[in-house]
Structure 1
Amino acid sequence: MTTTRSGPRTVPYFSQYQSPHLVQEIAAGAKSAADDPRWARSGATSLEEYAFWAPRACGVACLRMALGFWRQGPPPAAMPLVRELLDAGAYVLNEAGTATVGGLIYQPFADYATTRWGLGARVDTDLAKDVIRKEIGNGALAVLSVHKSIRILDPAPPTRGGHLVLAVDADERTVTVHNPSGLPKVSQIHRVEWAAFYRFYAGRGVVLTPH
């Protein structure tokens, strides 16, 4: 676990993979989540369960970071949170129950964060830079939808959104995000200029507060 200072407190970093040092190889296709030797630390009951969920668990990693920031002690492991989010309707499996799953559904996620963990959680589908700066300045964290290629600052991402990062700090020029699938020593904790960030950012997310 690594950390970033946000005001007087420290925001922990958690990857969506149990072995963050493998992310570069996973992103390049040289390895998959099934090659992660630490998979059992996720709380998964099998390697297959871990391999299915780890690539989809960016929102869970963001929640774990927020819980680690505001609550005493380490946050729960990833897979117990996945199971609770399934029960809450924040993830919906297809009819087969296995092959595919849609992305995190914001409102059920926000409701779950409030009822289960006592956090404030507000869905915003028009979450502009100035609002993000104001919210973070007031002590919030923001789960934001970006394209996954933000980890390499792709000059021409194919689309915006589809992956979640946690914004932990912001000023007039830059935003600092904890990227659950960021590259080691490059973009796991990533300070990005707003002009670049907007190439990837879908303009929506969930603002989290401690209560």
Structure 2
Amino acid sequence: MPANITAPATTPGTGTVHQVPYHSQWASPGLVPAILAGDLPAAEDPRWRSYGAASPEEYEWWSWRLCGVACLRMSLGHWGLPVPSAMELAAACEAAGAYVRRADGGLDGLIYAPFARYVEANWPLTAECRPELPAAELPALLAQGHLVMLSVHPSVREPASADPPRRGGHLVLAVGATPEAVLVHNPSGFPGHSQEFAPVPWTDLDRFYAGRGVVLGKA
């Protein structure tokens, strides 16, 4: 195993945790609460240029939509691969059909099947599109060395909050599992609370999780 890749920390009876670097879907992770609350327009993020965007306006439009790209960037870093900017990956995913612009100005995606094909064509990784992925499979997948992109409701950043209106709509990266919880890196999580290695109790996961995702691994 290359020196820059950390093996999963697995202890019998306690679970698996992969030491995965964190990337927010915004350039400044510390500003996420203000951006989500509407107190700070994303276009005023002082680090917008690091996103690879041509303008603050382009950055703002894409930043609300790139949770899946943030998950991919985290995964690439974990496996010691080059990590392109968010906008480079967004453009490539759009060209691959994983994002599709609508006539009304919106965006459809991340679309799993073309995304998985794009990942496998461009990196020494496996990417399995799983339209049905029971939560019970996650501990074994993670113990085998995989990372898993999960479709959850955005309010998973606060599991103790009221029930979400639906499941899915946002992507997080499962990086570990214990008997009590799945641990996720949440691209729209709150700093110091629900961004890195954030535990989502198994007893709460079903309220947020749509039962689908993408399983990533080293080829």
Structure 2 counterpart of 1:107, one-letter code? A
2:9 alignment counterpart: 7
Distance 1:171 1:128 in 2: 16
Number of the residue aligned with 2:100: 92
What's 2:206 paired with?
A: 198
Distance apart, 1:143 and its partner CA: 0.2
Would you say 1:47 and 2:61 are equivalent positions?
A: no
Paired-residue identity, %: 50
2:157 paired residue number: 151
Question: In the TM superposition, what is the alpha-carbon distance from 1:32 to its structure 2 partner?
Answer: 2.3
Question: Structure 1 residue runs of 4+, over 3 Å off?
Answer: none
SS in 2 for 1:30: coil
Aligned length: 205
Shift of 1:29: 1.5
Distance 1:161 1:53 in 2: 19
Aligned to 1:128: 134
User: Which is helix-richer, 1 or 2?
Assistant: 1
Structure 1 window deviating more from structure 2 (108-117 vs 118-127): it is 118-127
TM-score normalised by L of structure 2: 0.89
TM-score, structure 1 as length reference: 0.92
Aligned counterparts of 1:31 and 1:138: Cα–Cα separation in 2: 41
Aligned match of 1:68: 77
Offset, 1:172:
2.8
Extract unaligned runs of 5+ from structure 2. 1-5, 11-17
Aligned to 1:139: 145
Unmatched 5+ stretches in structure 1 = none
**Residue aligning to 1:115:** 121
CA RMSD of aligned residues (A): 1.6
CA contact (8 A) 2:156 2:200 kept: no
Letter in 2 for 1:197: L
SS, match of residue 64 in structure 2: helix
1:28 to 20, 37, 45: 37
Amino acid in the other structure paired with 2:92: E
